[in-house]
């Protein structure tokens, strides 16, 4: 956008009210309901409620969050779990998405519209459905999972995954991967369709086909899309809540093994069981999530995106 050069000539025109009219509703709602509350939350994290009066305490809440072992243990546990949640997504969801997209984009594949539609179905379902559906399927009471394992002779491998501390988080991450694989698949698929035919043909003339064609020609060309998917996954994961809440409840059991920042924020802010909610500590955790997401977005924008070459055809 290089409009600045024309600004000078426009200063002499009469005020163009219609621009304001067009912009006002969106700006108003967006500012009032999104931007101001975001900053309001950051601000609340610097206050503490003493006798129902908000008192400015500086960084005291953050000191509690990191210094008081009761808080800091929960926080580091949630952050660690959240990081593992993200790692599983990056290692499982995105490679599967790329594989499926690569297969779908091969030009003479039949039924590709059917596959695309079917594989995207879990993505449109709500977390509540997905969480409960998998909870039932993995439940030892119902026996769908043990029955299936029995069919391939692996019944001994069955464990109530969602109930075991050591497996629950990984199981939930994989459920989330199952749900969202459609998104990287679609975005990569779109990127692959935009690779011009000539490039592929030139590669084939040089004898680069099949897997090496994917590795040497297509993959470098879709790297910007992989970058976008990574940052979308990052933001989505560090802001996740619904799936864990539906499958494991606000306590993110067993024994907080599946607690991530979203559920930790919910418990702190809203309270659970006997503990009452604490808006200020909630705001402190939300601020930490804000900084984490902001850091991730900045790393992406300034370090990764600028280094990925974009090919213009």
- Nearest approach in angstroms of CB 104 to other proteins is 7
Among 7, 53, 56, 303, the residue binding other proteins under the rule CB under 8 A is 7
Spatial neighbors of 202 by CB under 8 A, at least 6 apart, are none
Binding mask of the shown chain, residues 118 to 157, with x at each position contacting other proteins by CB under 8 A: xxxxx-xxxxxxx-xxx-xx----xxx--xx---------
Q: CB nearer to other proteins: give 69 or 160.
A: 160
Binding mask 265-284 for other proteins (x = CB under 8 A): x---xx--------x--xx-
Q: Counting contacts by CB under 8 A, is residue 215 touching other proteins?
A: no
Torsions phi, psi for 258 (to 5 deg) = -110, 15
Residue 246 in the binding site for other proteins (CB under 8 A) = yes
- Residue number with CB closer to other proteins (87 or 129): 129
Residue 119 beta carbon to other proteins: minimum distance, rounded to whole angstroms? 5
| Per-residue burial over 169-191, b = 16 or more CB atoms within 10 Å of its CB, e = otherwise | bbbbbbbbbbbbbbbbbbbbbeb
* Helix segments in the chain, DSSP class H: 4-10, 17-30, 36-44, 60-67, 69-88, 94-104, 112-124, 127-138, 144-151, 165-180, 182-193, 197-205, 210-213, 219-237, 242-248, 261-270, 279-298
Stretch that binds other proteins, among 62-70, 161-169, 252-260, 263-271 (CB under 8 A): 263-271
Minimum distance from CB of 276 to other proteins (Å)?
Answer: 15
Cβ distance to other proteins smaller for residue 166 or 215: 215
Of 29 and 59, nearer to other proteins (C-beta) is: 29
d(CA 81, CA 75): 10
Decide if 198 contacts 311 (C-beta within 8 A).
Answer: no
Quick note: the x/- pattern for other proteins over 176-205, rule CB under 8 A, is --x--x----xx-xxx-xx---------x-
**Least CB distance to other proteins at residue 22 (A):** 4
Nearer to other proteins, 172 or 187 (CB): 187
CB 105 within 8 A of CB 260: no
- 261 and 82 Cβ atoms separated by less than 8 Å: yes
Q: Which residues pair with 49 in a beta bridge?
A: 54
58 three-state secondary structure: coil
What number of chain residues touch other proteins (CB under 8 A)? 101
């Amino acid at each position: 956008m290089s409009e600045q050069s024309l600004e000078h000539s426009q200063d002499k025109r009469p005020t163009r009210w219609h621009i304001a009219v067009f912009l006002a509703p969106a700006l108003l709602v967006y500012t009032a309901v999104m931007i101001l509350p975001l900053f309001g939350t950051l601000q609340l994290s610097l206050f503490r409620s003493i006798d129902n009066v908000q008192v400015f305490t500086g960084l005291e809440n953050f000191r509690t969050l990191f210094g008081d072992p009761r808080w800091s243990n929960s926080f580091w546990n949630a952050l660690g779990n959240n990081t593992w949640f993200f790692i599983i997504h990056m290692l499982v969801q995105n490679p599967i998405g790329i594989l499926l997209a690569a297969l779908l984009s091969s030009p003479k594949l039949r039924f590709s519209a059917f596959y695309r539609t079917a594989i995207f179905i879990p993505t449109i379902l709500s977390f509540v459905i997905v969480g409960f559906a998998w909870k039932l399927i993995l439940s030892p009471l119902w026996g769908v999972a043990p029955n299936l394992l029995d069919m391939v002779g692996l019944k001994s491998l069955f464990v109530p995954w969602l109930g075991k501390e050591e497996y629950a988080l990984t199981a939930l991450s994989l459920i989330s991967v199952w749900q969202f694989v459609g998104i990287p698949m679609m975005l990569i698929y779109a990127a692959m369709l935009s690779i011009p035919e000539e490039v592929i043909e030139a590669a084939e003339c040089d004898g680069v086909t099949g897997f090496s064609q994917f590795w040497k020609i297509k993959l470098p060309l879709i790297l910007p899309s992989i970058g976008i998917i990574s940052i979308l996954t990052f933001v989505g994961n560090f802001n996740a809540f619904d799936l864990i809440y539906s499958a494991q409840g606000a306590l993110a059991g067993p024994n907080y093994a599946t607690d991530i920042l979203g559920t930790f924020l919910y418990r702190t802010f809203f309270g659970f069981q006997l503990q009452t909610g604490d808006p200020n500590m909630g705001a402190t955790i939300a601020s930490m999530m804000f900084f984490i997401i902001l850091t991730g977005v900045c790393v992406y924008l300034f370090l990764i995106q600028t280094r990925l070459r974009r090919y213009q055809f």
